[in-house]
């Protein structure tokens, strides 16, 4: 069964067609890099995967269910691109809040929170208010809240924004560890080099339509072309011509 | 404990914790002390009975601060969530939008009632100390109706918070609240003396606007009049519940349709 399935999905806002007849499937345990320039329709697609709104046409299925149902979202973890969270909470309180929203018991929240706070490297800052956190630390808190309820599918919207090189390596290790645990990861990013290192497959979006999809090894060919050049090429940008 | 109750609990805790961390409660306590402490010791000009003017002033301030706290808390319920995008991870969790709305409302109401309870407790203790009458029934009625008032005010604030910025919401709801408290009782009589279309505008406000003047028992408290009938009290509280339910239903429709 596909964990994520988009069948001919379209969405328009007024006269602007944000997503155009998008069909895509992500299998269990796969890491999909969802790539595209700003305004390509990545965030709109993610919002439909999270059930924030329904598509105008086509069908969105996540883990066999409708993401507009709370029961389906119980199995989804989401990390937004830029969220500043609640500045007057510390990370433990933040996780307690989100755990409560997930319907977790206090014991479950405590156990998972401590484990995740340690895993994302926020133990020393666990009692500090979030308003004192750097952008990178907020991103780590964001990863922790996304993983709190042990979801089967993780949707990450630009997760590397604000992370320093060390944190990026730790993040990459975490993602690969999650894949080993059988989690599926839908990874939207501008960071093509990171996507190349982490992802099993990539899907490139242009003006709401899918222009390229395939395994990273297939897309990048025999190693003469990296993902960045392929990306530029399919978008018809001059830099891609070098590769072609 | 059911999942829905845990979700509501998390949302209520968030609102109360915010009030505490933003030092709003601290301000409330200081204001309560500053306003109400003089009641215990102040005998204006040594004239017997003149103390009721001090009581009136204190109650006026209690009402003003309760509006500030109730409206200030509820008007901020959603705009910061939209601005800082915390609404996304919240709605991505397995929680229904209706639960989010109800939890947010309950949190704002709990925070406002907590502040109100502090005011009334201080008022009851200090007037008791000065006048020797401890928590008379009319004070309990005044508190009960004041909670009804806040039930409506926070519901209006919540509705506005889905449509307006926090400052615009506070201004608009503040005008409505003060307007209805001041003129609500006279709207129908005023409308009868007007010509069309002013007449119809006033009638619409009369029928649709919240009659907040129903909840004001200050004169009874100040002049030590007997309590109102408990049936009347219950009817007014039922009106508050119905009005707030209508506001919440409208908010639910807007929130359900809202695109993020």
| DSSP assignment of chain A | --SEEEEEEEEEETTEEEEEEEEEEE-TT-EEEEEE-TTSSHHHHHHHHTTSS--SEEEEEETTB-TTSHHHHTTEEEE-SS----TTSBHHHHHHHHHHHTT--HHHHHHHHHHHHHHTT-GGGTTSBGGG--HHHHHHHHHHHHHTT--SEEEEESTTTT--HHHHHHHHHHHHHHHHTT-EEEEEES-HHHHHHH-SEEEEEETTEEEEEEEHHHHTTTTTS-HHHHHHHHTT-THHHHH-
- CA-nearest residue to B5 within chain A is A103
Statement: residue B82 has pLDDT above 50:
yes
How many contacts (CB atoms, under 8 Å) link A and B? Answer: 93
Q: Give chain B's end-to-end CA distance (angstroms, integer).
A: 31
CA geometry: angle B89, A47, A33, nearest 5 deg: 95
Out of A47, A70, A83, name the one closest to residue B89 (CB). Answer: A83
Range scoring the smallest mean pLDDT among A13-22, A76-85, A110-119, B113-122: A76-85
User: Comparing C-alpha atoms, which of A199, A224, A223, A225 is closest to residue A213?
Assistant: A199
Q: Which residue has the higher pLDDT, B246 or A81?
A: B246
> What are the φ/ψ torsions at residue B66 (nearest 5 degrees)?
-65, -35
Using a pLDDT cut of 90, give the percent of chain B over it: 58
CB spacing of A99 vs B10 below 8 angstroms:
yes
- CA-nearest residue to A72 within chain B is B94
A244: pLDDT confidence band, cut at 50, 70 and 90?
Answer: very low
Give me the mean pLDDT over the B108-137 stretch. 87
Q: Which residues contact B183 (CB under 8 A, 6 or more apart)?
A: B190
pLDDT at A57 (0 to 100):
95
How many angstroms separate the CA of residue B8 from the nearest CA in chain A?
8
Query: What residues form DSSP beta bridges with A201?
Result: A32, A215
A225: pLDDT confidence band, cut at 50, 70 and 90?
Answer: low
- CA-nearest residue to B260 within chain A is A52
CB spacing of B10 vs A101 below 8 angstroms:
yes
Statement: residue A37 has pLDDT above 90:
no
Crossing angle for the helix pair A91-101 and B3-21, nearest 10 degrees? 150
How many angstroms separate the CA of residue A187 from the nearest CA in chain B?
16
Statement: residue A161 has pLDDT above 50:
yes
Q: Which residues does chain B have within 8 Å of residue A83's beta carbon, measured at their own beta carbons?
A: 84-86, 88-89
Radius of gyration of chain B (CA): 20
CB spacing of A73 vs B96 below 8 angstroms:
no
Whole-number Å distance between alpha carbons of B212 and B184: 7
Q: Which residues does chain A have within 8 Å of residue B84's beta carbon, measured at their own beta carbons?
A: 83-85
pLDDT at A242 (0 to 100):
43
CB spacing of B92 vs A74 below 8 angstroms:
no
**pLDDT, tens digit, for every residue of B159-205?**
999 999 999 999 999 999 999 999 988 888 888 888 888 889 999 99
Q: Which residues contact A77 (CB under 8 A, 6 or more apart)?
A: A146, A147, A148, A149, A151, A153, A154, A155, B92
Residue of A101, A128, A133 to mutate for B, most B C-beta atoms under 10 A: A101
CB spacing of B91 vs A82 below 8 angstroms:
no
Q: Which residues does chain A have within 8 Å of residue B255's beta carbon, measured at their own beta carbons?
A: none
CB spacing of B21 vs A98 below 8 angstroms:
no
CB spacing of B13 vs A100 below 8 angstroms:
yes
Give the β-pairing of A201-206 and A31-36: parallel
> What are the φ/ψ torsions at residue A116 (nearest 5 degrees)?
-75, -35
CB spacing of A52 vs B259 below 8 angstroms:
yes
How many angstroms separate the CA of residue B100 from the nearest CA in chain A?
9
Residue A205 in tokens? 């979006």
- Pair A6, A164: CB distance under 8 Å: no
Residue of B9, B77, B93 to mutate for A, most A C-beta atoms under 10 A: B93
Length reported for chain A: 244
Give me the mean pLDDT over the A147-156 stretch. 95
Whole-number Å distance between alpha carbons of B30 and B43: 22
Range scoring the smallest mean pLDDT among A62-66, A239-243, B108-112, B192-196: A239-243
CB spacing of B90 vs A101 below 8 angstroms:
yes
- Pair B152, B212: CB distance under 8 Å: yes
Find where tokens 């630390």 sit. Answer: A137
Query: What residues form DSSP beta bridges with A61?
Result: A5
How many angstroms separate the CA of residue A130 from the nearest CA in chain B?
12
Q: Residues of chain B whose C-beta is under 8 A from some C-beta in A?
A: 1, 3-4, 6-7, 9-11, 13-14, 17-18, 21-22, 84-86, 88-96, 259-260
CB spacing of A89 vs B91 below 8 angstroms:
no
**pLDDT, tens digit, for every residue of B21-38?**
888 777 777 877 776 676
Statement: residue A63 has pLDDT above 70:
yes
Statement: residue A205 has pLDDT above 60:
yes
- Pair B74, B161: CB distance under 8 Å: yes
Q: Which residues contact B218 (CB under 8 A, 6 or more apart)?
A: B56, B59, B60, B63, B142
- Pair B110, B20: CB distance under 8 Å: no
Residue of A103, A108, A128 to mutate for B, most B C-beta atoms under 10 A: A103
Q: Which residues does chain B have within 8 Å of residue A78's beta carbon, measured at their own beta carbons?
A: 88-89, 92
How many angstroms separate the CA of residue B21 from the nearest CA in chain A?
6
């Amino acid at each position: 069964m596909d964990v994520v399935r988009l069948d001919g999905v379209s969405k328009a806002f007024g006269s602007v067609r944000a997503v155009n007849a998008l069909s895509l499937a992500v299998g269990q345990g796969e890491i999909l890099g969802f790539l595209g320039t700003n305004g390509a329709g990545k965030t709109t697609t993610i919002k439909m995967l999270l059930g924030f709104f329904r598509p105008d046409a086509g069908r969105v299925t996540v883990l066999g269910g409708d993401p507009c149902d709370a029961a389906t979202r119980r199995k989804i973890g989401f990390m937004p691109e830029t969220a500043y969270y609640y500045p007057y909470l510390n990370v433990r309180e933040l996780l307690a809040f989100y755990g409560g929203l997930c319907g977790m018991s206090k014991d479950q929240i405590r156990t998972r929170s401590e484990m995740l706070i340690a895993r994302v490297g926020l133990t020393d800052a666990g009692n500090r208010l979030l308003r004192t956190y750097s952008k990178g630390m907020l991103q780590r808190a964001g990863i922790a809240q996304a993983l709190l309820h042990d979801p089967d599918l993780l949707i990450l919207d630009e997760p590397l924004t604000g992370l320093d090189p060390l944190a990026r390596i730790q993040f990459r290790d975490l993602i690969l560890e999650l894949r080993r645990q059988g989690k599926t990861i839908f990874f939207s990013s501008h960071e093509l080099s990171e996507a190349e290192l982490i992802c099993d497959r990539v899907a490139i979006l242009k003006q709401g339509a899918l222009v390229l999809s395939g395994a990273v090894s297939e897309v990048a060919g025999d190693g003469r072309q990296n993902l960045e050049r392929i990306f530029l090429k399919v978008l018809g940008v001059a830099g891609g011509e070098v590769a072609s | 404990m059911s999942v829905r109750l845990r979700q509501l609990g998390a949302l209520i805790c968030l609102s109360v914790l915010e009030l505490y961390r933003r030092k709003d409660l601290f301000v409330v306590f200081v204001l309560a002390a500053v306003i109400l402490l003089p009641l215990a010791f102040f005998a204006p000009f040594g004239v017997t009975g003149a103390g009721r003017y001090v009581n009136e002033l204190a109650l006026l301030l209690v009402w003003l601060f309760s509006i500030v706290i109730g409206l200030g808390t509820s008007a901020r319920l959603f705009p910061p969530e939209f601005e800082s995008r915390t609404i996304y991870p919240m709605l991505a969790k397995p929680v229904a939008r209706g639960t989010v709305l109800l939890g947010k409302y309950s949190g704002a109401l709990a925070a406002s009632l907590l502040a109100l309870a502090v005011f009334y407790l201080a008022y009851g203790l200090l007037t008791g100390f000065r006048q020797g009458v401890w928590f008379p029934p009319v004070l309990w009625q005044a508190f009960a109706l004041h909670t009804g008032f806040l039930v409506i005010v926070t519901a209006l604030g919540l509705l506005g918070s889905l449509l307006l910025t926090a400052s615009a919401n506070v201004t608009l709801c503040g005008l409505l609240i003060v307007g209805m408290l001041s003129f609500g009782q006279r709207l129908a009589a005023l409308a009868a003396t007007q010509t069309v279309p002013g007449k119809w505008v006033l009638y619409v406000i009369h029928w649709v606007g919240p009659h907040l003047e129903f909840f004001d028992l200050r004169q009874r408290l100040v002049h030590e009049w007997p309590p109102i009938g408990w049936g009347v009290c219950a009817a007014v509280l039922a009106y508050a519940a119905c009005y707030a339910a209508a506001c919440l239903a409208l908010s639910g429709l807007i929130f359900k349709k809202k695109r993020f």
